[in-house]
Chain A
C-alpha cells in the first residue's frame, strides 16, 4: 500500500525531470542507424533462438535428403554426387533463408512497430538495410552448417579455405541483393502467410530449374535456355568453381551484375512502397 502511494506521488516529478532533461543529440548517419537496426535483428535472435531453425535444420535436412536420395541414381555414388551437390545446396540454403526477410518485415508492419521506425528522423532505408545486415549473420550460420556437414560427409573442396570463404562472401552479397525482392513483396502483400506463399512460388522454380541438382545437359533444350538465364545457375557455377580451386571470372562478373540489378530494381520499388505504406 505504502509503496504504491509513494510511487504514484513521485511518478509525475520523475516524469517531469526526464522530460525537461531532454537533450537533442546530433543526428546519426545512415551507417550508424543501419547498424543499430542490425543489432535489433541480433537481439531478436538472442530472444527467439528457435527462429534459427530455417538456417540450421533445413540445410541439414536438404543436404542429407538429396545426397542420399539422388546420389546413387544421378552420379553413380553418393560420394561423387556430394562433391557435385554441396556447392549447389549451399546456394539453395542461403537463397531459401532470404525468404525469411520478407516474412519478418511483414510481421513488423502488421503489428505496428514499423510505424515507430518510419516516424523517426533517420535515413529511411536504414530499418530495411539493418534487417538485411542482421540476416547476413543468419546466412553465415546457414553456410557454416552446410559446409561443416559436407566436410563430415566427405566433401573435399579443392579450392581450400580461400575458395570456401570467397564463395560464402559472394553468396552473402547475392543474398543481400535478392532480399530486396522479398522486402518489396512484403510491402505489397497483406499477411506474413501470403508473403511466405508467394515467396515459395518464386523460390521453387528459381532453385530447382538451375544446375543445383543435375547437369543441365540432360534437360530438354527449352529448359536449358531457362536454366541458362537463371542467376542462381551462374551463382552455383561460381561457387562450384571457387570451391574446386578455379576462378571463373566471367561468371563472377555475371553474379555481381545480377546482384546490382536486383538492388537497382527492387530497392527503389521497396522504398516507394515503404514511404507510403497504408
Chain B
C-alpha cells in the first residue's frame, strides 16, 4: 500500500437541507498533483474546506498526511497550505507586509521573516511589487501572492481552490509552472478546477465530482478510455454535402454522427478504429471531398458529458438543444 497524502471515506456536509458533499471517497498518493474536477456548486470547495480543517464534516472521516482532520486539526494545519478561491491575503497591506506577517505567525524571527518574504517575492516575480498594496495588483499577481502566502513554510501538501479561474492565459501558465515546481520539490498538490484542460495538463489523477459525489476517478487517459476509443472529426469541402456524409458515416461506423457548429464539419464517438479507415474510403467512393479527417482521444469535455449527462462548463446554449 503506497503512502496516502489524503484519504477520505464517506465525507459528508450539508448546509441546512442542501447537501453540498454527499459521501466523498478519495485516496490521494503523496507527491502527485490530484485534480478535483467539477462544475460550480459540485462540492469542490466544501470538500477542500473540510480537508483544510476549516469545516467540520457532518459524517464520514478524512485523514490528511495521516492525521484526522477533526481530532488532529492542529497537526494538519501545521503541515498543509491553503490557497482559497477568494482573497487569502490582506488587500490593504503590501505584498511584503503580508508575507512578513505570515512568517512571523509561523515562528520566524523578524529578520528571518523579512528574508523569507523577500525570497518568496523574488521567486514569484513580485519583487518590484513588494511595497505596493495587494489591492493594486493585477489578477495574475494576486494569484501568485496568494500562492506564495501558502508557501511561507514549505507545506507537505497544498490545497489550491480554482487557482486559475479568471486568469488570462499567460498568468494561467505561470500558475501551472508554479504547480509543477511544487510537485517537483515533493509537495503534494490537490487542486480543484472547472477547466478540463487544466486537469488534463496538470493532474496525475483526477476525480470527477458532481452533485457532491465522485462520479469517476482515474488518470486522464483512463477517464478518456472509459468513454470509448476516441472521437472522429471530419470536415468537408462542400457544406451542402454534410447530410449525405452524415448518412455514409453513420452507415459504416454504426454510431450516431453529430453535425458540428462548423457547417462543413461532423463528429462521431467511435470505438472501432477499423471502421474509421473504411469510412474514409466510403466517403471518397460517394464523391464527398474531405479536407480534414482526424481521429483523436476524447476530450475531457466529452468525458464529463458521458459521465454526468451534462456539460462541465455550463455555457448557455438554448438554441443548440
Contacts and interface: CB of A to CB of B under 8 A. Distances in A.
Given A40-B90, A44-B92, A276-B56, A119 B112 contact: no
B86 A36 contact: no
A21 B37 CA distance: 32
Interface residues of B, number: 54
B88 A116 contact: yes
Most buried by A among B108, B178, B185: B185
Contact of B82 (A43, A47, A119): A119
B112 A116 contact: no
A43 B93 contact: yes
B180 interface: yes
A113 B105 contact: no
A17 B149 CA distance: 16
B125 interface: yes
Given A112-B84, A119-B77, A15 B124 contact: yes
Interface stretch (A26-34, A55-63, A237-245, A262-270): A26-34
Contacts of B56: 275-276
B107 A278 contact: no
Interface stretch (A6-14, A194-202, A209-217): A6-14
A26 B109 CA distance: 10
A115 B88 contact: yes
A39 interface: yes
A209 B78 CA distance: 48
Contact of B84 (A11, A28, A116): A116
Nearest to A130: B105
Q: Is the interface of A mostly helix, strand, loop or mixed?
A: helix
A152 B213 CA distance: 69
A20 B123 CA distance: 12
Contact of B185 (A16, A27, A112, A275): A16
Given A39-B101, A119-B54, A15 B123 contact: yes
A11 B93 contact: no
Interface size class of A (residues with CB under 8 A): 35 or more
A206 interface: no
A44 B135 CA distance: 13
A25 B184 contact: no
Contacts of A28: 104-107
A48 B92 contact: yes
Nearest to A122: B105
B258 interface: no
B29 interface: no
Contacts of B254: none
A26 B108 CA distance: 8
A116 B107 contact: no
Interface of B: 15, 49, 52-56, 74, 77-78, 80-82, 84-94, 97, 101-102, 104-109, 112, 119-120, 122-125, 133, 149, 151, 153-154, 174, 177-178, 180-182, 184-185, 187
15 contacts: A11-B124, A12-B177, A19-B187, A22-B151, A25-B106, A28-B105, A32-B104, A37-B105, A40-B93, A43-B92, A44-B92, A116-B82, A116-B149, A118-B54, A120-B106
Given A7-B125, A43-B97, A278-B15, 5 more contacts: A25-B153, A28-B105, A40-B101, A112-B85, A113-B88
Q: Rank and list the top 6 A-B pairs by shortest CB-CB distance, nearest first.
A: A22-B154, A112-B86, A25-B107, A121-B78, A14-B123, A19-B185
Interface of A: 7-8, 11-12, 14-28, 32-33, 36-37, 39-40, 43-44, 47-48, 111-113, 115-116, 118-122, 275-278
